Every structure is written in structure tokens, then in C-alpha cells.
Chains A and B, each alone.
Chain A
Amino acid sequence: MTVPQTTRTRGQEGARALAAELSKLVSLPATWLTLGGTLVVNLILAIAFTIAGLRGSTGTGSAPDIGLASIGYAQAGFVVLGVLAACSEYTGGQIRTTLTAMPRRALQFTAKHVALAIVVLPAAAITAASGVVLAAGVLGDAAAPVTSGRVAGALSGVTAYLALTTLISAAVGALARQTLAAVVVLLGYLFIAGPLLRDHVSAAKYLPDSAGVAMWFPPAGDAGAVTPVRGALLLMAWTAALMAVVVLGYRRWDM
């Protein structure tokens, strides 16, 4: 037998939990199908937005504005990814294997979310950049001029927004423990309730979806609008608060 019998330290335990959670994510076909599908759908939508932009009666927008418009829909893919990462634990009784291998639940929960962030950040950056590159390529000189600082700002804003949205989705998934229920709640909020609240209730700008959109979509000269930095801080606070609330329950539940 080649099993080393050593007692591990806390740091080692955390690193190993992270390695295990990363291994779980990358060996789940659904991870790659979701990320790949999202990228493809995002590109198709970006093409549609670019064509619509070329025909636009109000003048052509800048490449990041047009190329990132599709993110509003593509975020659904990241929501699904987050929910699947959490809810796949409940298929085949895997959660019992997870919790007997990593019984300290708060640590395991944190490791899972960190692993998810590690996988999602590059994927979100690629998805965001793909739309902008496509729009810039197709529009060429027809696009409204824009500084490279604004492009970098918008791209990092979108990337952070998608990553945080994925983490929120994973936390909601861990709370619901049912893929479809979690997806319904999240998409119902992001696509139906959120936009309508934004139109009718002014305090809605501090909710996670509106605060998040403020990170990359420039507020239209409204003095009371949330700035990108404050939007980022708000969304991070929402994410941290939600994860903290869920982990409180997650530590106590019978699995």
C-alpha cells in the first residue's frame, strides 16, 4: 500500500479541498458543455447585436457597448454553471462522499466557491472579449471611437460581474439543492423581476443585478447612479452576504 500516514495541517487541508473541488468541476462534462454553449450563444447574439447596431437609426455605438450587449443574455449560462456546480452534489448521493471526505463543511463550501471562481474567471473574460473583438472586427471604422482604458474597464467589469453572478448562483443552488428550482428563481429574478423593479422602484439600483450592470454599462449621466466601483463593491457585498447566510444552513443540514 502506498498510503502515506501523516497528519495534515490546516493549510494543507484547505489546499487539498480546493484541489478536490477543482478536480470535480473539470471532470464534470456539464461544466464544459455549459461554458462552450454559452460562448457559442454569446457569439451568435453578438453577431445579431452588431448587425442591429449597423442598421441602428440612432447612430452606431462603440465596439464594447455593442459587443457586450449580448452578455445580458449570456449570463444565463453562467447562472446555470453556478447552479450545476452546487446541485450536481445531489446526484447519485455524491454529497455524502464529499462530506465524508471533507467533513468540515464551511471549509468544503469555501473551497467549492473558490474553485468555481478559478474556473469561471478566465471563461468569463474569454466570453466577454469574444463579443467585443467580434463587434470591433465587423464594425471597423463604423464603430464610435472609444479609449482603450474604457474597453479594459468594461471588460474587467463584465468578467467580475459574471464571476460574482456564478458564485451567487452556486450559493442559491446550495440553498435550493434542486437544479431547476434554483435556475427558475435566479433567471426569473435576473430576466423578469429585476428589470421591472429597476423601471419602477428607485432603490432597486442597489440590488445585485442592477449594481452588477453598473460595473460595465455606463450610467447615463444620472447623478444618483451607482458608479462602477460602487457597483462592484455592492455586488461583492451581496455575494459575500449570501454565501455567509447559506453556509450557516449548510453546516447544520442533514445531508
Chain B
Amino acid sequence: MITIDNLVKRRGSAKILSGVSFRARPGRVTGLLGPNGAGKSSTLRILLGLDRATSGTALIGSVPFVKLRDPLATVGAMLDGSGAHRARTGRAHLRWVARSAGLPRARVDEVLEIVGLTNAASKRVGGYSLGMGRRLGLATALLGDPEILVLDEPVNGLDPDGIRWIRTLLRERAASGRTVLLSSHLMGELAATVDDVVVVNEGKVVADGTLDEVTGPYGTLEDAFFALTTGGAP
């Protein structure tokens, strides 16, 4: 369970988040939806201990991320880009991450297989396409076979094949009782993947509920999104 409680983030005079609260529950895929600059990434970065909140808490279970005894086996995270240095090979990147958690080398080959990068594993990350970089990021997130996945814009840069594949993967994780939290600004993709929706706009949660509850009166998630984020019907 991920519990975000009243997060506030100021950067200089700009207010990035002004009191964001929501939960992501086990066995469900939770989608964080909002336009660019709404505060989706900031929320996820604070959750992962990369940024510090001005106030409020973000907990994994009952502790902040940075207090986790075994972070990689608890939370798998993918933020924008590949998260890998361009001069390293994909395999070398996964190896050092695996070492940080004491995972066996064999696990690196397993996740490479899962994301379909086995053939590109010996190529430098600098030569990867956008989609391959995202797959490597996902492989990193899956390394510790974690209870919780936190993914920032996971379908960005993936081809239709990749999008279907990641959707299946996330549904399977949720079906086995794990927690998935993802952010996106692509409504169509989100509608087909998520159970719960949290809509943020200008640093505030404007809607929070099951997909049906949020879509409810608007017909489609896309209509709901525009109604909620622009303050009127499209």
C-alpha cells in the first residue's frame, strides 16, 4: 500500500504541489492522471525519496521509502528516460543495480528476457532507441521482483506492441495481489489499464476513485479529464 498524505512542495516561490493525498492499494493498478506540469512526477519523486517534500508524508506500507531495509525488493521504480549511463551496456547497468541488492547475476538475464532486451544486452545504452531505453528502465524496476511498482509515464516511447505487452504485465502484477502506481497523460492507455484513477491538476487532486467513479457522468475518461482539468466541458 502506498499512502500519500497532504504533500506540499515549493521550489523557490513556485508551488509545485499543494496538498496531494491519495492511496494506491494492493491488487490494483492506480493511475495518476494529469496534464504536463500537474505535479505527477514530483509526487512520484518525493515518494521515492529523490525530492524532499516541503511538508506532508509519502509512505510505502508504514515507512518512508528511504527507511526501507531492502528497497529494490520492495519497490521497483522507473522514472523518465532509461536511468542508465549511455556509455554502459544494458547488462552492465543491470548488474550494478543487482549488486546493490545482492541479487544473483542470473536474475539480470531473467529480467532482460522478460522485457525482451536479451539481444541488445551487450549494446551501449547510448545506442538504444527510446523504446529500448524504457524497456531497460522497466527491467531495472523488475530486478528485485518487488511488491510495488512505481512507473512514471511507462508507455511513453513504446510501440503498440510494447504498450500491449506492458498493459498485460501490469494487469498480471495486480492480479497476483501486488501494487502498481503509474502516471500518464495518455487517457486511452490509462483507461484500458487502470482500476483506480487519481486526477491531479496544478498540484491538487481534482478527482480520486475507481475508473467508473471518475469517468461516471462524463462518459469517457478523456471527457472526464478535460472537464476536471480545464474547469469545463470540452
One of B73, B77, B100, B144 near A102 (C-beta < 8 A): B100
Q: In the assembled complex, which residues on chain B have CB atoms less than 8 Å from the CB atom of A30?
A: 87
Q: Do A8 and B102 contact each other (CB < 8 Å), given the known contacts A3-B144, A24-B96?
A: yes
Chain B: residues with Cβ within 8 Å of the partner, total of: 46
Q: Does B68 touch A at the CB level, under 8 Å?
A: yes
Cβ B49 vs Cβ A103 within 8 A: yes
Cβ A23 vs Cβ B50 within 8 A: no
Q: Mark A15-37, 1 if CB is under 8 A from B, else 0.
A: 01101110110011110000000
A250 to chain B, nearest CB (A): 12
Cβ A254 vs Cβ B51 within 8 A: yes
**Complex CA distance for A67 and B65, rounded to whole angstroms:** 52
Cβ A93 vs Cβ B80 within 8 A: yes
**Complex CA distance for A255 and B52, rounded to whole angstroms:** 9
**Complex CA distance for A255 and B79, rounded to whole angstroms:** 12
Q: Does B188 touch A at the CB level, under 8 Å?
A: no
Q: In the assembled complex, which residues on chain A have CB atoms less than 8 Å from the CB atom of B89?
A: 27
**Subset of 5 A-B contacts with CB under 8 Å:** A6-B70, A19-B99, A30-B87, A93-B81, A96-B79
**4 nearest interchain CB pairs?**
A20-B100, A27-B92, A23-B96, A97-B83
Known interface pairs A3-B103, A96-B77; 19 further A-B residue pairs with C-beta atoms within 8 A, sorted by A's residue number? A1-B145, A2-B104, A2-B106, A2-B110, A3-B145, A8-B69, A12-B102, A16-B101, A20-B99, A27-B88, A28-B87, A88-B87, A93-B81, A97-B93, A100-B49, A100-B71, A102-B71, A102-B100, A104-B66
Query: Which residues of A does B touch, CB under 8 Å?
Result: 1-8, 12, 16-17, 19-21, 23-24, 27-30, 88, 91-94, 96-97, 99-104, 252, 254-255
